[in-house]
Structure 1
């Protein structure tokens, strides 16, 4: 009789509250469970359980021993599951939330390549702009940008996110260029979902509250407004890079671009990350290392 079996029996009895329920769970006899608990207590020379005709409870030393036993079993299960994953091809449905241009132009093509590499994977991708509840709505991964709010989710940085401020030459002809971030209040700032822009000043990051005559939760709409000379915009570089290269937009305040933002894959916390999620996140990191 192995030590693993005695520990498994002990944890099952505590979690199920009786020898008979533990036996049912482990598909063994009640007497078998009783022998395992007795062997564990004899080997350790301690009493782990208080036994009465109606109630089974942990002794003081049993209470201190139980969490360690549960952790040991969980680690063993994780190791077995990871080994099985290595021998199997990833399969099943992968539900992803990835809004905005980055989701459309980067995540979606990467997901297609991932499916071609692993044909037993199915993808369901949602492009809603709202921040989904990953756990309650059943998503495996959500792609999020910028600074993350505190949560129980695990986050892994998958790509850089360089924010730039720019406008069209015709806007600068009319209004001039801001010479520091605090003169932006004198300019028409085209705003997204937030009412602030992020900057770096004197080795620290600050958020400036700004306003303008145009606001939209769509990055492309902000780009079009900037191209028409309506005002300044702060957006990730990938939104405006081709227009910068064509001279249709010009950046300003480059020394104040923030350096603390990124693009992240967030997923529910778990002891063992499923193979399909782990492989997809690694795939994104590899793909976006070229950005």
Structure 2
């Protein structure tokens, strides 16, 4: 280990991440020749080949891929430790990289809170990403993630934010025109408005029912699913933040209310990032204000928050 240079590991990570010495040199500040020398010295110190080099391409060996994955995590931990050691505990400054669910929950509940947080703490910049990818917090570059559902990784720092109720709804006209919907089996003969999932699993206590969606329409947008339900095209299932205002004002009717489902929204953070003062402050801010903002979004309905802001400007 004494013969292994940290600069060599950094150089290898740059090359692996950017697919070649030329691209790595453009972003790293190292010269192409220097990168090549450092990686060669690293391979010699390890007595293994990390890269396949040809005149046309460069790719990782099997050992190189495994070494890259482990070194990337280790370097992230070292960077976090260095940042923690050098940070000021009194001054809130720096970047927070956050991934979250989108739709009304992300855009009309979380985003206004993030905007207000940054207004109160101008030294902090929150990079908020609404991509729907599943994030591996240990291996990724994110400091904080808002997840919906179960959390299998118990090594992460988790803070519960709020519970979301999924409701089954249709227009009053659709309900009046069709037979009474008394249970999940009655959905099988009706047109259903679904998103990316073609099988619905309904739960009531310990009872579970599965419905394979065959009739109806498929759209991968909760807002469009709501519009389709309002237009009387069938039964859909959506989070309460999409449909609560419509239910209260009679534009939609809830069917199978006993089968509505509760899903937990949770803030999740890697242990090393949780040690950063700015990340902990943001987590506490969201815990303190999320429920109130969520209730406001329920009353307003999707899209109303930003409409009201635009109208006031």
TM over 0.5, shorter chain: yes
- Which residue of 2 is the match for residue 177 of structure 1? 180
Other structure's SS at 2:160 match: strand
- Which residue of 2 is the match for residue 254 of structure 1? 257
Offset at 1:271? 8.2
Offset at 1:141? 1.5
Between 1:204-213 and 1:107-116, the stretch displaced more is: 204-213
Q: TM-score, normalised by structure 2?
A: 0.61
Q: What stretches of structure 1 move > 6 A for 4+ residues in a row?
A: none
Between 1:138-147 and 1:279-288, the stretch displaced more is: 138-147
Instruction: Could you tell me which runs of 5 or more consecutive residues in structure 2 were left unpaired when the two chains were aligned.
Output: 4-80, 296-313
Whole-angstrom CA distance in 2 between matches of 1:135 and 1:190: 36
State the Cα RMSD in Å.
Answer: 3.1
Offset at 1:155? 3.1
Between 1:247-256 and 1:124-133, the stretch displaced more is: 124-133
Offset at 1:133? 3.9
Q: Does the CA contact (< 8 Å) of 2:99 and 2:129 recur in 1?
A: yes
Q: Among residues 122, 125, 130, which one is paired with 1:122 in the alignment? A: 125
Cα pair distance change 1:17/1:137, threshold 3 Å: closer
Whole-angstrom CA distance in 1 between matches of 2:191 and 2:153: 32
1:233 aligns with 2:236: yes
Whole-angstrom CA distance in 1 between matches of 2:202 and 2:178: 21
Cα pair distance change 1:150/1:197, threshold 3 Å: farther
Q: Among residues 252, 272, 275, which one is paired with 1:273 in the alignment? A: 275
Give 1:29-44 correspondences, 5 Å limit: none
- Which residue of 2 is the match for residue 221 of structure 1? 224
Cα pair distance change 1:186/1:111, threshold 3 Å: same
Between 1:110-119 and 1:186-195, the stretch displaced more is: 186-195
- Which residue of 2 is the match for residue 107 of structure 1? 110
CA deviations 1:189-209 (Å, max 9, x no partner) are 2112223334332x2263623
Q: Does the CA contact (< 8 Å) of 1:93 and 1:123 recur in 2?
A: yes
Number of residue pairs the alignment of both structures matches:
216
Q: Among residues 168, 178, 182, which one is paired with 1:165 in the alignment? A: 168
Whole-angstrom CA distance in 1 between matches of 2:146 and 2:270: 13
Offset at 1:171? 1.1
Q: Among residues 142, 146, 152, which one is paired with 1:143 in the alignment? A: 146
Instruction: Could you tell me which runs of 5 or more consecutive residues in structure 1 were left unpaired when the two chains were aligned.
Output: 1-15, 19-77
Between 1:244-253 and 1:122-131, the stretch displaced more is: 122-131
- Which residue of 2 is the match for residue 57 of structure 1? none
Whole-angstrom CA distance in 2 between matches of 1:177 and 1:153: 46
- Which residue of 1 is the match for residue 211 of structure 2? 209
Cα pair distance change 1:150/1:191, threshold 3 Å: farther
Offset at 1:108? 0.5
